[in-house]
Amino acid sequence: MNTETIHRDAILIDAVAPLLQKLEHVDTYIAGGVTCVAPTVAVGGETSATALGTIARWLHLIRSREDLTLVTVAADIERAKRQGRMGILFHFQGTGPFGTDLHLVDAFQAVGVRMVQLTYNRKDYVGDGCEEEVDAGLSKFGKNLVKRLNECRVVVDCTHTGYKTTMDALSLTTRPAVFSHSNSAALFPSRRNIKDDQALAVAATGGLVGVTAVPQFLVPANGAAARPSLDHLIAHIDHFVSLIGIDHVALGLDYWWGTLPFSNVETAIQEWERFVSAGDWDPQVYPRPPHYNLPEIETPAMLSGLTAGLLRCGYKEGDVRKILGLNWLRVFQEVWGE
């Protein structure tokens, strides 16, 4: 079977898509053959009202288009594939919309939120982010939140979260958890990447690591804009496959509209300065733009290049299908139900 056929027939899930904070980019995912994509509908300390407004706009868009469908159970993804539609999965990067009210987990689950990241780089009510100098682990509220996410069948996401806080969460969760978009600290020791024992701990829950294509988390910038290739991304995939097994590695590519070619350099710098000023990004971890996406998969419309790259590097067809989407599908089936 040739590359184009494998890519066309595969269930392809990109579980992290802040690019879709700008709704006009939906069609580039469809063009790339994506079966299910997870737009970031809240980030950091955003309020409940802001998150609900974003979700409302998404629900309106989904209902206005025949080629989109809301994903709330795993079967929705399989149905989307059969029907030639693209599933939309709501994802929080941070727990700001919950404040300290656990009942809001139930409320946001009811409107479609199915994966929640515990922190966004900084300390919050739940625990410490990966950029904090001190990591005290999960707070009492954080422990109760993990339990409530489990009860509501929402995926616990440990990306952007401090080492001890993640390890506390992974020891507490009763359902598979994930690092939705994290690369290997063994290959590149950015504070945004994860250690091998974190990867082993998430696999032990039945969960997975979603590898990210963000250039500044693939290779060091070394004083200039990082210009990684697809081979650098596949090296992180290789590392995790060797460490935790083919069933626990997937994609959270994290395309963002502040990278080229989605944004000009001036706009990207303005956004970078905004996040740095807010304290969400440390310039040592998030170097100043410009940032260049991998040339082989520069946009989601080019994702067949990833399928070709995995096959070129010796992955068998069945294993490629797992990385592209079947591993996410299994986790979603176990957490959300069929």
Predicted pLDDT at 220: 81
How far is residue 54's CA from residue 62's CA, in Å, rounded to a whole number? 12
How far is residue 44's CA from residue 238's CA, in Å, rounded to a whole number? 30
Angle at 91 between CA 86 and CA 92, to 5 degrees: 160
- The residues, ordered by sequence, that sit 6+ positions from 36 with a Cβ below 8 Å of its Cβ are 11, 12, 13, 14, 15, 71, 77, 80, 86, 87, 88, 89, 325, 328
Predicted pLDDT at 289: 87
SS3 annotation, 202-253 = HHHCCCEEEECCCHHHCCCCCCCCCCCCHHHHHHHHHHHHHHHCHHHEEECC
Write down the H helix ranges in 68-195: 74-83, 103-110, 140-151, 163-172
**First and final C-alpha spacing in the chain:** 29
Output the CATH code of domain 3-336.
Answer: 3.20.20.140
Predicted pLDDT at 223: 56
Predicted pLDDT at 284: 87
Residues 45-61: b if buried by 16+ CB within 10 A, e if exposed: bbebeebbebbeebeee
Average pLDDT per run of 10 along the chain, which is 338 residues long? 94 98 96 98 96 98 98 98 98 98 98 98 96 96 98 98 98 98 96 97 98 93 77 98 98 92 87 90 89 95 98 97 98 94
Which DSSP symbol is given to 263? S
Predicted pLDDT at 264: 85
